[in-house]
Amino acid sequence: MNTTTSAGITRSEAHYRPLMRMVWQVLESAKDAGIADVAAACRRAIVNDRASQRIDTADARIIYEAYADLRDWEA
């Protein structure tokens, strides 16, 4: 099954699992940094993933922006 999430990401095995690994990485970083809104978006994404529901577009945007900031910070 190859459906598309609200963030435009294919839920095939090749793309979906890395997305959730990214969500968990962002969640851990947000918790360490005390960034509550990013952590909350990650938690909602994880709940939706476990319920086989789409990740909310606003949450996806928050997660992607936090991930980009995390990658910039590590560089």
The answer to whether residue 2 sits within a structural domain is no
Structural domain including 69 reads: 13-74
Tokens matching residue 69:
């900031």
pLDDT tens column, 32-69: 999 999 999 999 999 999 999 999 999 999 999 999 99
Report the domain count for the chain: 1
Q: Output DSSP code: residue 9.
A: -
Q: Quick one: which of 46, 64, 66, 65 has its CA closest to 55?
A: 46
The answer to whether residue 56 sits within a structural domain is yes
The answer to whether residue 62 sits within a structural domain is yes
Helix (H, G, I), strand (E, B) or coil at 7: coil
Give 1's pLDDT tier (boundaries 50, 70, 90): very low
Q: What is the C-alpha to C-alpha distance for residues 56 and 24, in angstroms, rounded to an integer? A: 16
User: How wide is the angle at C-alpha 43 spanned by C-alphas 34 and 24, nearest 5°?
Assistant: 80
